Chain A
Amino acid sequence: MTTRMPIPAPATLAVLAVFALIAAVAAPAAAQEDAAAPAKAAQEGPHYSLAADAAAGMILAADGLYPASADSAAVWTVQANFLHRLEAPGWGMVLSHNVDISGQAATAAAPSFSPTTTVYEAYARLDIGEWTQLFVGKRRMGLGIGSTFAPGDALDPRSGFWDQKTGFRGIDLAASIGPDISLRAALSLDRSFDAYAAGMEKKTAASAFATAPSDAAAQAAAGQAAAAYAAALDGAAGPADPRLFTYALSAEAQLGSVQAAVAGVYARGDADSVERPSIGVSVDLSGLILQAEGAAELSGAPDWYASAGARYTWSNGPSMLSLSADYDYNGRAGLLKNAHYLLPYASYTLDQVFNLYARALVELEAPSALLSLGLTLYPAEGFDLELTGLFGLGGPGAEFSSIQSFAVLPSPGTGVLSSAIGFAARVHF
């Protein structure tokens, strides 16, 4: 599941155009070097690479899949993911985006298509000396040690239940003290950008009302819009107002098979201030990876967050079985509404033949669960056939009794959307 953040088409096109231009310049140079020396690793100039996939399929969503009823609907899906990279000694650029032209209900007389471009990441990297890197742009960043739950990650918190991130817009400085200790400082402009954009929207609305000053009602509405503008602006004086910045610092150390991390996130504000220190540790016990992390939210009434998990991978030739289980204690409602969660996960891969996985986010109090199942077949090189299922399990009103907010289409009937099954063919290139 991916949170979509449609961006204005001109901005998207501009970003894509810049990359296309750079790629066009870099590619011939890279090709010439390839011809001159097969050792690609020896390239000194900018090197462009693209990893991409395109998928077409169908999602069937239903209020209840069985027995089959009229309360079901199908959506055709067509989408492509692109990861562009431009690497050069001392710098690099990344653009990761998705283009989705999935249709609406297939039963509609005239399917309406709504192409959406989602930019996951768009950033530039500058190496400063041997051990320091500066990142500018929109970028996903993990804070802390957790790979499933990240209690201390309040800078770029996950946007989905399976550790997905939308990335943050800002600056990130990463430095290492030798290979075993890394330090990180990040500055997020997300709140400032969002407040300014919301303020501008309200201001535009206020201006529209103000065109008829003789109308008392319009003037009153304009006054309300101006007040809303000020409220939406949240005190921002511009698109980059330091009062709305979010700051993060982290340090990680590798001590043999033990890894430890401390981090802190700070943002001031009225209702959305953040003061989140965290500490985590991970250890490899002969293949069994154990990890634990704790965090405290000190703004307002203090709240606690914690997670603990174990992961094991067994492999035998082309067979690989991965098992993990993570527990999460969530002290304050956010993406997760309640306090206690468990996320078991199992995946079996027979290399070049298939992958089968099952995972569930279980809310332990109500209880309810979000169950995700998937089977991917690899019938040919670079070609996958995917079958996925997402099921909400739980009584009425339970947190995961509905998958409404994760499905690509609204409930086809009057009931609660509880199931979605997808099929897709995917090509990698």
Chain B
Amino acid sequence: MSLRQRSAKPSALRFAAVLICLASIAFPLSGAPSSSPTADEILAGVDRALFLESYTSTVTMETVEPGSQPRSMTFEGKSRKDKGTYLEITAPARTKGTRFLQLDGSLWMFNPKAGSANALRLSSQDSFQGSTFANADVGKSQFSDDYAPQLAPEAKLDHPELGAVPCYVIESKARSDASAYGKIVMWARKSDFMPLRMEYYAKSGLLFKRMTLSKIRSFGSITRPSVMAMESLDKKGTVTTLTMQAMEAKDVSLSVFGKNYLTR
């Protein structure tokens, strides 16, 4: 074997190592975006960052508004993508046990303490329990079903917790009149599509709510913002904050997403 032949192997290894380094910069192992992701890829990334296929959760909701005492509520939830969300209030005592079932196109409420055996149908566009969230927000398990995204110019988001963060920006328009909002503008962190801000527009085109997502933490198989603060822009100082206390990937039984389970 000649000297040239002997030295070829280390050289090839070095070349391969350089290629791997370059590739890892261009295609990070975190599943982060390729150089120019499409709007659909970004929205899919946002969905992946926020929701699991099937999971249980414990969420606290607190609404603060000028001149009123803060209102707090805790839920236990079960969600399954493409199926819906089931919620049960565990606090405060006055409404403890009240249940909600969000299915495609409808929201049902059942209060087992009432004398009736019937679940009450609610409109998905109404406010959820007096919060700044709409009923439709609460059961949301992915945005891509209801909204069609378009790319907007990238921007640096001035995030209250993370500082200046380079973000992709997408404008997602309602696919149908049944959607709760006319348009949602989303800021997703460029490195991993983590959603950090969402702005909600009414069907009239009016910007009326803004959500800031923060406190990114791991819940087992998912790392996501644990705090989502929805600020009402037409009622200054009114903010509802959802805090994810627990979230666990779990195979939620399909039977949960039927009215029989709601009134069980």
Contacts and interface: CB of A to CB of B under 8 A. Distances in A.
Contacts of B254: 130-131, 176, 178-179
A351 B65 CA distance: 12
A169 interface: no
Contacts of B245: 38-39
B22 interface: no
A184 B130 contact: no
A77 interface: no
A182 B58 contact: no
B77 to A, nearest CB: 7
Contacts of A147: 116, 118, 120-121
A39 B58 contact: yes
Interface in B70-101: 71, 76-78, 83-84, 90, 92-94, 96-97
Interface stretch (B27-35, B103-111, B163-171, B183-191): B103-111
Interface in A4-45: 38-42
Interface of B: 56-58, 63, 65, 68-69, 71, 76-78, 83-84, 90, 92-94, 96-97, 103-106, 112-113, 115-127, 129-130, 132, 177-178, 232, 235, 238, 245-248, 250, 253-255, 257-261, 263-264
Contacts of B115: 2, 120, 140, 160, 162-165
Contacts of A178: 254
A42 B248 contact: yes
Given A39-B247, A178-B254, A256-B104, 14 more contacts: A41-B56, A41-B78, A49-B96, A51-B96, A51-B97, A85-B97, A131-B255, A160-B115, A175-B260, A287-B123, A314-B126, A317-B130, A317-B132, A317-B235
Contact of A163 (B69, B77, B118): B118
A254 B71 contact: no
Given A287-B123, A317-B130, A41 B246 contact: yes
A207 interface: no
Interface string A133-175: 1010000111000110010000010001011110000000011
B116 A182 contact: no
A428 B93 contact: yes
A51 B95 CA distance: 9
A133 B126 contact: no
B95 to A, nearest CB: 9
Contacts of B257: 179
A92 interface: yes
A257 B104 CA distance: 8
Interface in A315-351: 315-320, 349, 351
A399 interface: no
A131 B258 contact: yes
A2 B254 CA distance: 35
B122 A313 contact: yes
A382 B130 CA distance: 17
B260 A174 contact: yes
B105 A40 contact: no
A384 interface: yes
A69 interface: no
Residue among B120, B124, B257, B264 facing the most chain A CB atoms (10 A cut-off): B264
B121 A259 contact: yes
A62 B69 CA distance: 39
Given A51-B93, A130-B255, A92 B264 contact: yes
A406 interface: no
A164 B121 CA distance: 18
A116 B42 CA distance: 62
Contact of A41 (B77, B117, B121): B77
A162 B116 CA distance: 8
A83 B115 CA distance: 12
A384 B95 CA distance: 12
A201 to B, nearest CB: 28
A259 B96 contact: no
Contacts of B69: 352
Given A2-B115, A428-B93, A39 B246 contact: yes
Contacts of A318: 63, 65, 68, 71, 130
Contacts of A96: 112-113
B97 A130 contact: no
Nearest to B219: A39
A55 to B, nearest CB: 13
Contacts of A53: 93, 113
A179 B50 CA distance: 23
Residue among B58, B232, B258 facing the most chain A CB atoms (10 A cut-off): B258
A28 B39 CA distance: 50
A162 B115 CA distance: 9
Contact of A429 (B93, B118, B129): B93
A284 B235 contact: no
A272 B94 CA distance: 41
A51 B96 CA distance: 6
A40 B69 CA distance: 27
A191 interface: no
A315 B118 contact: no
A133 B112 contact: no
A215 interface: no
A351 B72 CA distance: 11
Interface in A32-86: 38-42, 49, 51, 53, 81, 83, 85
Given A39-B56, A254-B103, A284-B123, A179 B84 contact: yes
A250 to B, nearest CB: 11
Contacts of A357: none
A176 B92 contact: no
A35 B74 CA distance: 18
Interface string A260-294: 00000000000000000000001010111100000
6 contacts: A42-B56, A147-B120, A318-B71, A353-B68, A382-B93, A428-B96
